Amino acid sequence: MLSFLLRSVFLGLATAVIVLLAVPSLRSNVIPTALVDPQPSNIASLEVSFNQAVRKAAPAVVNIYSRKYVENDRSKLSTQGLGSGVIVSEKGYIITNYHVVAQADQIVVALQDGRVAAAQLVGTDKRTDIAILRVEGSNLPVIPLNADYKPQVGDVVLAIGNPYNLGQTTTFGIISATGRSSISDGRQAFIQTDAAINEGNSGGALVNTQGELVGINTASFQQATDLETYGISFAIPAPLANKIMQKIIADGRVIRGYIGIDGQDINAVTARLLGNEHIGGIVVLGIDPNGPASAAGFEKQDIIISINGTKVQGRQSVMDIVTDLRPGTSVDVGIIRKGKEMNLKVTIAEDKQEA
């Protein structure tokens, strides 16, 4: 019985194939047209342009020209620099890189609408490579900001600047990594991208596909290391750049808190050795004998797990919390010492490193 049914099914399928081959007009009723003959219009609809993002952001990206004159003779030019900047406020505040305007005697800003203005240097922060300028003017273009945007690996980004003084140029790439912290001492949490950043792009804008500021372009890996590498560039995250700007506007400089310890992240291996795989924080390896931690009674091998009740996950989180504290602030630092949890009260000092 089963063999009879199988023979019947086979003969039926064979007959259907023969009929379809013999009568082509029947095929369109069996096979969907979209699968047989895709329309060119469907392919054309996949074309992507980021023109609207560029139109939103580009007017707020300015060209910056810095000049330094020979000492005691302003008629002789010693050096001149080239870079870019981003207008982030209707009041005329511009974020750029410290290295673009370092030691400049004169700074000139050129807007994309043809206006040129002398810029006031409000303040700088060498550690984050941020400088804040200000220009006078009405109806200044301001770059779109979005405090809720969180950069993710794979996001499409556009780098806008003035490479080699060729004129405003936009390059395209993706976010390759976030939180890069090993590029140079002091500067943390870079955004890594493969969008091209060349000389003159420094201080320009890295924006997303909505034209919103993602970061301030600072350097390519080749520029930072002198290695022959391409497709590796870095930007300072917009929230960090904005935080530095607010501090400079308020105080004329960046005032950072200081606790006076050096430490190492607790990794999975260290956590297992401590008998707690869920522990996070840093192991104290060094203590400034004249710093707040020493005065508070810290010891080497203490494990910092919280500051004022906020759990810490590593050196970067400790640095972020402490540097934002005003000198003179008293905080409770939760530690583990020889397996026992305890709190130490620390009075934050000012970080005197060059800023």
Cα angle, residue 287 at apex, residues 283 and 288 outer, rounded to 5°: 155
Q: Is the dihedral of CA 323, 189, 165, 59 positive or negative?
A: negative
Q: Counting beta carbons within 10 angstroms of the beta carbon of residue 113, is it exposed (0 to 12), middle (13 to 18) or buried (19 or more)?
A: exposed
What is the signed CA dihedral for 77, 99, 246, 58, rounded to 10 degrees? 90
Active site residue 278: no
Task: Tell me the C-alpha distance between 153 and 284, whole Å.
Answer: 32
Q: 3-class SS at 349?
A: strand
Residue 138 designated active-site: no
Q: How far is the CA of 291 from the CAs of 31, 108, 259, 285, 347, in angstroms? A: 78, 42, 6, 14, 10
Cβ neighbours of residue 353 closer than 8 Å, sequence gap 6 or more: 127, 186
Nearest-angstrom CA–CA distance, 116 and 158: 25
Give the burial class of 280: count Cβ atoms within 10 A of its Cβ; 0-12 exposed, 13-18 middle, 19 or more buried. Answer: middle
Taking a C-beta distance cutoff of 8 angstroms, is the pair 128, 247 a contact?
Answer: no
Say how many C-beta atoms besides its own lie within 10 A of residue 53's C-beta.
21
* Candidate list 84, 202, 233, 306, residue with the active-site label: 202
Instruction: Point out the catalytic residue in the list 99, 184, 194, 288.
Output: 99
Say which residues have a Cβ less than 8 Å from residue 158's Cβ, sequence separation at least 6. Answer: 50, 53, 54, 57, 170, 171, 172, 173, 195, 206, 207, 208, 209
- The catalytic residue among 66, 125, 129, 220 is 129
For the question of residue 320 being annotated catalytic, the response is: no
* Dist CA 294 CA 65 (whole Å): 46
The residues that are catalytic are 99, 129, 202
